[in-house]
Structure 1
Amino acid sequence: MRWAGLIPAGYSAVLAALIAGPLLGSGYLLLRDAVSTPRSYLTDSALGLGDAAPRAVPQDALLAAMSPIVDGGLLVKAMLLVTLWAAGYGAAVLARELLAVPVGPQLVATTVAMWNPFVAERLLQGHWSLLTGYAALPWTALVAYRLRAAGSSIAAWGALAGCLAAAGLTPTGSLLAGCVALLTVGRRNMLGTLVLLAAASAPWLAATALSGAGGEPSDPAGVAAFAARAEPGLGTLGSLAGLGGIWNADAVPNSRTTPIAIVATALLLVIVASGFRAVAAARPDDRAGLRIRRTLLAMAVAAVALPALAATGWGMEVMRWLVVDVPGAGLLRDTQKYVALAMPAYALCAAAGCRALAARIGERAANSADTRTVARGGAVATRSVAALFIALLVVPLLDLAWGVGGSVRPVHYPIGWQRVAEEIEKPGDVAILPGGMFRRFPYSGKVAVLDPAPRMLPRDVLQTGRLPVRGLTVAGEGTRAVEVENTLLHGDPAQRLADLGVGWVLVERSTPGPLGDSAKTLAQLEPRYADDHFALYRVPGAADRATESQGAHRIIAIVAHLLWIALLIGGLLTAAVRRPGRAVRR
């Protein structure tokens, strides 16, 4: 029995390897929004101080700081594997602590957390860092339970700090974990939780305040473009209830485009419904657990219902008002990602349902006079029901295995990227051709991928932030990058680039895209490097736009990042060193 606690951890590791298997080989993750590179740099953009809203902070700064020591591609793959494992194991531990279920139901909770459309779709969209916030949710609920059940302790507060900081790898992750924490810790722990959440969010809060980009209104066209999508036969509400419905119809497993999606959603909801009453049931010896469980159930209902409402006509009107009139509300436009908040409750309900069904089956053996036979029959029933539930969850979404059917796989960059990076020096930022932020390289596969240049090059790369979504173009927040791109496409004099602070122009030759009359401007520039994939030019007369205030902003942003990393490492170490015993004995 001492080893029983290790079974969910091992099972989670097996599922993580099965899901991310292709990434165990050499190469780099480059798929839609996911970009990993051998080396990245601590530019202003990496700190969130560029023109665009700081959506990848502190993720980019962490990779920039670590990649000189450890290959950046290896870092991303390791973080993704740990994230998947943590999501599954966290769900198992949460079910064990809040429901006191045996190993079989814990494995069911693990399967619900790891093997679902949300994980598949976010992997296909390249949102690996968002999954870090997703993985932190069951752990955050668990720490909140321990704070309420056993009272405040250094270990519990350290664990909460570590959870919020880990989730804070992206701003959305902070919001997800913050919602769970603030709704579950209880009133007496609210102030301390708010302080920790603010500290864990310091990198992107500081970047938003310093750059001003996050405070600018977002393009209202993004509301319809990023609204939750109705899958065939399910509608928007059914898609969200099944933990699917991402806005990008191309970033879904093949099984979700067939009637199998209806079957998979029905099976998931039946399994979840089978344990709903047990999770909501009152237990006189565990008031803290009851409040946490009921809060998680209410959160799951809201996480499904509110994104569905936001996809209606009047819901979109409300969302447009938010993103236009409320600074920073652009973080809310991709409403489907908040269905992640349903995962902890779904995992608990599935585990409780497994135990309840096994108990009913075990009652039939209760007439036997042999107590050992009764106990053995109950254990067999639990294992059998757990195996059945796991099969019903896995088989309809079998194409999640092996990198979602091989789509999530590593690529290999041409050596030209390294040579271009070695050529670029001060002063001036980098402009990119062709226009746009997305590329189709020969080595990156069939889908459009985010241009890796901002992470590959040692100077800030100017990008417009324009996103092509569902046939629409959603505008970015900044204006300088748009001016630079228009200058190139219109063939304006090179001096105009220099005046805008551009010192380099990189032409990515192996991807399609608009070039306009840029040849006129390029003819006035100094060629510095060329091969089959790239042509690099130096802009004469370029000057560095760095000012004293920008230097001060960098210092503040770096301090905010250091606070975040201290919270992450210090919190997790405190929780590990001063690990508490069981919060409640049942």
Structure 2
Amino acid sequence: MTAPLLAPGYLLLRDAVSTPRSYLTDAALGLSEAAPRALPQDFALALASHVLDGGVVVKALLVAGLWLAGWGAARLAATVVPDAGVAGQCVAVTVAVWNPYVAERLLQGHWSLLVGYGALPWVATAVLRLRDGSGRWWPLPFWIALAGLTPTGLLLAATVALVSVCAPGTGRRLTVVAVTLVAAVVSALPWLVAAAVSGSLAASPAAGIPAFAARAEPGLGTLGSLAGFGGIWNADAVPGSRTSGFAVVATLALLAVVAAGVSVVWRRRAAVPLLVLAAAAVVLPAAMATGPGLAAVEQTVRALPGLGVLRDGQKWVALALPGYAIAGAGAVLVWRRVPAVAAAAVCCAALIAVLPDLAFGVGGKMRAVQYPPGWAAAAAMINADPRPVAVLPPDSMRQFDWAGEAPVLDPLPRWVRAEVLSTGDLVIGGTTVPGEGVRARAVQELLLRGAPVSELAAAGVGWVVVESGSAALDLPLAYRDEGLTVYRVGGERPVSPHRGLLIAAHGAWLAVLVGSLLAGVIGLRRGATPRR
């Protein structure tokens, strides 16, 4: 699935942007006009890229997220359906990793969301083992914090944990709830604090809700598409096998495996909360895509702009992963006269066969690319004098010949230590969904009407970078090659006074992640030490 990424280079595909280095800019800390959607992800990359190349970090995390999804599904199956054995675990792994949700999120570039996705079965396993008295405490906050690499991942993990608490056990229910809530709140501090001090949530994202609703695939309604783990809003981020009537066959194959397993595992009391969550994770996003559902979501987001995270309805189908995984494991127990190994082989082969283009980077669409030399030269020039940067063309998404056919978010904000002004506007199906970048929009209007250097400098612009496809400007030239032109303007803007507060908030998340992991390592070492 990820083989093309093993080559030297960087992942640049729609929302996925990796660069050699990232920095703790105000934007990386959430101190910008844009809503803090990529926290604490950007903070983590800024730290990690001081040790390893940023491209290696992103690719390693993506591969780790997918690996964790499969491994976690096997562990969850072993906990809930132990009699399914290794055969059942193999089906659970295949259900978790080889599905349209993974394919579509890979094509959309949501690598950090897939890290959170991979943590979900581990969260469920940690809670279930705490409930039956066989588990330790450290895994639960660790997996919640790891999923908290993005706000969506954190909300997914906290939901799975709180639902799993409903499973029967010997006690600890209130304690598990308390640990879950504390870990979730501390892990959410980066984006909660950023939203509070920057005022980035004042502008409601309700205008883009219809564009981000779950989408019906050919031959399937929205409900059927979501039940088959498909239906992402962006029709361009869909594997070829899901763009025709064959999507019906693929969905039926997945649902047949899941339905067969449900007939067995619903009798396991530990499985019931996860199966109910799986059903809700399909039905509710489908309802959100209807007329009344869209109206309800829009009103909710207008009243509480912080809930704009809800607008991409299809991503919440990830909550069905734990339930689908244990159902897949249970499928090998349906046919008592058929050996479990044979049943598992049939199930796994069917799931893989109906989604063949997930192999090798989703049909080669996801691969490592190399930046032209001019990008490193331009970044080095700006980093030597990190003043605010305005960029043309004004769109947030870029189309580079050297990066492939798919558009990609502008890499420059991730590569320089200066503030890069961005409107955040997106064009979806010919409709522009406005972003939160009011100041960036005003600066771009100055650039597009040919404002002089003095006016741009007064607006706080230090550099202007013109990427491929834009005309030359009448500004002091600092660098030019075939793909990039850099102009020196000289304006500046004071650094946010809230940087220390945001660094502390990110440090709290990191403390939960690293502290719980160290607690686990110490506990394992003590357990492995022989008693005298």
TM-score by length of 1: 0.86
User: What does residue 412 of structure 1 align with?
Assistant: 370
AA of the residue aligned to 2:62: L
Amino acid at match of 2:56: L
Return the match for 1:214 from 198, 201, 210: 201
Distance 1:457 1:80 in 2: 23
Moved more, 236-245 or 440-449: 440-449
Hey, what's the Cα distance between the residues in 2 that align with 1:59 and 1:215? 22
Name the CA distance, whole Å, in 1 between partners of 2:271 and 2:436.
40
Quote the residue 2:209 is aligned against: 223
Determine if the alignment matches structure 1 residue 179 to structure 2 residue 159.
yes
Q: Identify if the C-alpha distance between structure 1 residues 112 and 427 changes in structure 2 by more than 3 Å, giving closer, same or farther.
A: closer
Q: What are the superposed Cα offsets for residues 320-350 of structure 1, whole Å, 9 maximum, x if unpaired?
A: 1122121311100001000000011001011
The match for 1:554 among 490, 499, 504 is 499
Counterpart position of 2:260: 274
Distance 1:427 1:391, change over 3 A: closer
Residue in 2 that maps onto 1:198: 185
- 2:392, 2:466 within 8 Å by CA — same for their partners in 1? yes
Match of 2:337 in 1: 361
Report the counterpart of residue 90 of structure 1 in structure 2: 72
Q: 1:125 aligned to 2:108?
A: yes
| Aligned-pair CA distance for 1:505 | 0.3
Matched, 1:539 2:478: no
Asked whether the equivalents of residues 264 and 333 of structure 2 are also in contact (C-alpha less than 8 Å), the reply is no
What letter matches 1:331 in structure 2? V
Q: Distance in 1 between matches of 2:241 and 2:405?
A: 19
Kept after mapping to 1: 8 A contact 2:20/2:53: yes
- Cα 1:401–1:532 shift into 2, 3 Å: same
Please say if 1:437 is aligned against 2:426: no
Q: In the alignment, does 2:309 pair up with 1:331? A: yes
Question: Alpha-carbon deviation of 1:245?
Answer: 0.1
What SS is found at the alignment partner of 1:361?
Answer: coil
Instruction: Report how far residue 215 of structure 1 moved.
Output: 4.3
Question: Corresponding residue for 1:253?
Answer: 239
1:41 Cα deviation from its structure 2 partner = 1.4
Structure 2's unaligned 5+ residue stretches are 166-172, 528-532
Deviation per CA, 1:427-485: give whole Å up to 9, x if none: 63000011111111120111111110101222011000101112211111231111111
| 8 Å contact from structure 1 (residues 502, 539) kept in 2 | yes
Pair 215,189 (structure 1): closer, same or farther in 2 beyond 3 Å: farther
Task: Report the 3-state secondary structure (helix = DSSP H, G, I; strand = E; otherwise coil) of the residue aligned with 2:334.
Answer: helix
- Which of 66, 71, 80 is the matching residue for 2:62? 80
Aligned mates of 2:342, 2:453 — CA distance in 1: 72
Q: Which amino acid aligns with 1:558?
A: I
Indicate conservation of the 8 Å contact 2:20/2:49, yes or no. yes
Aligned AA (2:163): L
Question: Is the contact between residue 165 and residue 200 of structure 1 (CA under 8 Å) also seen in structure 2?
Answer: yes
Aligned to 2:148: 168
State how far apart, in whole Å, the 1-side matches of 2:329 and 2:261 are: 7
Relative distance call for 1:567 and 1:88 in structure 2 (3 A) is: same
Shift of 1:250: 0.8
Aligned position for 1:348: 326
Return the letter of the residue paired with 2:439: R
Counterpart AA for 2:379 = A
Matched, 1:398 2:356: yes
Verify: 1:309 aligned to 2:287, yes or no.
yes
Whole-Å Cα distance in 2 between the matches of residues 336 and 233 of structure 1? 18
2:450 pairs with one of 485, 491, 504: 491
Deviations 1:259-288 (A, max 9, x none): 221111001111101111322214xxxxxx
Equivalent residue in structure 1 for 2:515, among 570, 573, 576: 570
Could you tell me how far apart the structure 1 residues matched to 2:386 and 2:14 are? 31
Partner of 1:104: 87
Q: Deviations over 1:388-442 (max 9, x none)?
A: 0000100010110000000010110011111111211446300001111111112
Contact 1:354–1:385 (Cα < 8 Å) also in 2: yes
CA distance, structure 2, for counterparts of residue 258 and residue 543 of structure 1: 52
What does residue 459 of structure 2 align with? 500
CA distance in 2, matches of 1:330, 1:499: 33
Q: How far apart are residue 150 of structure 1 and its match?
A: 0.5
1:121 CA drift (Å)? 0.1
The alignment covers a number of residue pairs equal to 517
CA–CA distance in 2 between the matches of 1:124 and 1:223? Answer: 21
2-structure distance, mates of 1:577, 1:440: 48
Corresponding position: 1:46 with 2:28: yes
1:262 aligns to 2:262 (yes or no): no
Deviation at 1:500, TM superposition (A): 2.1
Q: Which whole-Å deviations, capped at 9, do the CAs of 1:156-208 have from their partners, x for residues lacking one?
A: 2x111110111011111011101111222333422222111111112111111
User: Within 2, Cα distance between the matches of 1:175 and 1:478?
Assistant: 25
Tell me the equivalent position of 1:423.
Answer: 381
User: Tell me, which stretches of 5 or more residues in structure 1 are unaligned?
Assistant: 1-18, 283-289, 363-380, 582-586
Whether contact under 8 Å (2:158, 2:184) holds in the other structure is yes
1:25 Cα offset (Å): 0.7
**1: CA distance, partners of 2:202 / 2:92:** 39
Q: Is the 8 A contact 1:171 1:201 kept in 2?
A: yes
Give the superposition deviation at 1:134. 0.6
3-state SS, counterpart of residue 417 of structure 2: coil
CA offsets 1:539-572 (integer angstroms, 9 cap, x no match): 14x13323xxx23x11111111111112112212
The alignment status of 1:528 with 2:487, answered yes or no, reads no
Q: Deviations over 1:14-35 (max 9, x none)?
A: xxxxx10100111100001100
Q: What's the CA shift for 1:119? A: 0.1
Per-residue Cα deviation, 1:114-161 (whole angstroms, up to 9, x for no partner): 00000000000000100011111100000111121117x7x32x1111
8 Å CA contact 2:2, 2:63 repeated in 1: yes
Question: In the alignment, what sits opposite 2:168?
Answer: none
In 1: Cα distance, 2:436 partner to 2:92 partner: 40
Match of 1:27 in 2: 9
* Corresponding residue for residue 116 of structure 1: 99
Letter in 1 for 2:261: G
Q: Which residue in 2 is equivalent to 1:159?
A: 139
Whole-angstrom CA distance in 2 between matches of 1:559 and 1:244: 38
Cα RMSD over matched residues? 1.6
Provide the secondary structure at the position in 2 that maps to 1:275.
helix
Between structure 1 and structure 2, the one with the greater Rg is 1
2:429 corresponds in structure 1 to 470
